[in-house]
Structure 1
Amino acid sequence: MRTIIITGAGSGLGKELALLFSQKGYNLLLTGRTLEKLADTKHEIESAGGKADIIQLDIRNNADVIQKIEEISGTYKIFGLINNAGVGHFGPFMEINERQIGEMLDTNVLGTILMTKAILPILKQNGEGQIMNIISTAGLRGKVNEAVYVASKFAVRGFTESLQKEYEESSIKFNAVYMGGMNTPFWDESDHIKDKSRLRSAKEIAEIIMDQLDQDSIIIENKNS
């Protein structure tokens, strides 16, 4: 059974994509920071007849990423990776502190690069695969009170577009997903979005993504855009 790894699979878009890919017959490897949430996603997948396992790893730690990927590569037939885990801190640029800057760059950029670098040799050896980077519309244009977050997403956009060109003659597919804000726990500790109920649900976004898996760039604007 082909296996897909999803980072940040415990809630929001990562969870919804895991559920949908499991319905297509993939085995899911769920990664994230909170084991409780990952266990909930695993339970939902298995209750619906799918298969899922949990891996605890720190995507910002290269040694941990390499070790865990090496461990699973002999057990699972890795087909894909969804770099979904992300961190956002919002507000006037001068009020964003060094810790917040580091968290965004380490998770959004470094984590995506390290996971991709660890998985690509396996996909090349298998002769096929798919890597999806969840970028958000912050990777398309600048936004007020999102300077560093946008910078991190522009970096992931450039990374993804470069790999699309580098591997365009191969059987490895790269998707860049640019979606507007979603009604997810991502905003629970921020007042940047005043009324998240007006945003699309993570389930709705996941369904749109699944319908466009053949596209290099998947752009999903907010409903009121």
Structure 2
Amino acid sequence: MNLKNKTVLITGGNSGLGFAIAKELVKKNSKIIILGKDKKGVEMARKKLNSPLISTIVCDLRDYKDIQKKLKNIRHLDILINNAGVWLEGQLQNNKFLDIANVININLTGLICITKIILPIMLKKNHGIIFNISSTSGINPKTNQSIYIASKYGVTGFTKSLQKDLENTNIKVFGFYPGGMKTNLFNKTNSKKDVSNFMDPQQIAKIIVFILQRPQSVNMDHVVINRSKVNKVN
């Protein structure tokens, strides 16, 4: 797909990987809608991107009524990038109920609700791309992060099922599964995870834009990006 003048909605587009994707799409002259829950952060991202093709939506993905209200004026969308996500680690018995609900509502339920609102718009024109960003945690279980993994496995299952539902249309659904990246995802929860060897989100964003531009004849329905293992020498 030629991305020039294509309208792209990026959830969580004000920081981390979402912002990196927006930066790459600015170079392609795409019309970008940044969606985030923090008004100050969304506005700061818009200013940093410094493009007349940027618009913003402040929306809480935990509130489906807010999602409906904020997205009701969208009449056309070429690409939906479901990127927003939050982190939670620790043993299940130690996780707080509110933190569990927060992760599931943002990482999974909010993603589904936004897709539900956007899908009829794409179906009407029989055109569009739904790009769901999960995680390697959505295909490989790991210790000490059962709730986060549950949310990402949910995204994986939703993506695969939606692909089946839409296989006879011109709407393409992608599943993207990156390993750890150097973003604020872990810092926001005071995680002690060492991110020094994690991947650069800007490089991952370049890969995503490459996938979005791929020819129709190239099948890249599910893409897994693992970070290189670094062997420590004592």
Q: How does the TM-score come out when normalised to structure 1?
A: 0.92
Query: Equivalent residue of 1:196, what SS?
Result: coil
Query: Equivalent residue of 1:5, what SS?
Result: strand
Does residue 216 of structure 1 match 2:221? yes
Structure 1 residue 25: Cα displacement: 2.1
**Residue of structure 1 equivalent to 2:20:** 16
Q: Could you tell me whether the CA contact under 8 Å between 2:37 and 2:61 is conserved in 1?
A: no
Does residue 25 of structure 1 match 2:24? no
CA distance in 2 between partners of 1:82 and 1:22 (Å): 15
CA deviation map 1:82-105 (0-9, x unaligned) = 111111110122211111110111
Q: Could you tell me whether the CA contact under 8 Å between 2:42 and 2:58 is conserved in 1?
A: no
Query: Equivalent residue of 1:185, what SS?
Result: coil
Structure 1 residue 192: Cα displacement: 4.4
Structure 1 residue 163: Cα displacement: 0.6
Q: Could you tell me whether the CA contact under 8 Å between 2:18 and 2:83 is conserved in 1?
A: yes
**Residue of structure 2 equivalent to 1:191:** 191
Supply the AA of the counterpart residue of 1:220: I
RMSD of the TM alignment (CA)? Answer: 1.5
Q: In 2 relative to 1, CA 123–79 (structure 1 residues): closer, same or farther, beyond 3 Å?
A: same
Q: Could you tell me whether the CA contact under 8 Å between 1:4 and 1:79 is conserved in 2?
A: yes
Q: Could you tell me whether the CA contact under 8 Å between 1:90 and 1:190 is conserved in 2?
A: no
Supply the AA of the counterpart residue of 1:132: F
CA distance in 2 between partners of 1:6 and 1:221 (Å): 22
Supply the AA of the counterpart residue of 1:36: K
Structure 1 residue 79: Cα displacement: 1.0
CA distance in 2 between partners of 1:191 and 1:65 (Å): 29
Q: Could you tell me whether the CA contact under 8 Å between 1:135 and 1:177 is conserved in 2?
A: yes
CA distance in 1 between partners of 2:13 and 2:87 (Å): 17
Structure 1 residue 126: Cα displacement: 2.1
Structure 1 residue 24: Cα displacement: 1.6
CA distance in 1 between partners of 2:164 and 2:74 (Å): 28
Structure 1 gap ranges (5+):
none
Structure 1 residue 50: Cα displacement: 5.4
Q: Could you tell me whether the CA contact under 8 Å between 2:134 and 2:176 is conserved in 1?
A: yes
Q: How does the TM-score come out when normalised to structure 2?
A: 0.88
Query: Equivalent residue of 1:72, what SS?
Result: coil
Supply the AA of the counterpart residue of 1:55: I
* Count of matched residue positions in the alignment of Structure 1 and Structure 2: 219
CA distance in 1 between partners of 2:190 and 2:160 (Å): 30
**Residue of structure 1 equivalent to 2:217:** none
Structure 1 residue 176: Cα displacement: 0.6
CA deviation map 1:155-190 (0-9, x unaligned) = 110000001111112111111110001001111133
Q: Percent identity?
A: 33
Does residue 40 of structure 1 match 2:39? no
CA distance in 2 between partners of 1:12 and 1:135 (Å): 14
Q: Going by fraction, where is helix more abundant, 1 or 2?
A: 1
1:5-154 mapped onto 2 (5 Å cutoff): 5-46=9-50, 49=51, 51-73=53-75, 77-154=76-153
CA distance in 1 between partners of 2:52 and 2:171 (Å): 25
CA distance in 2 between partners of 1:72 and 1:128 (Å): 15
CA deviation map 1:106-164 (0-9, x unaligned) = 11111010000000000111221111111010101111101111011101100000011
Q: Could you tell me whether the CA contact under 8 Å between 1:22 and 1:50 is conserved in 2?
A: no
Structure 2 gap ranges (5+):
215-219
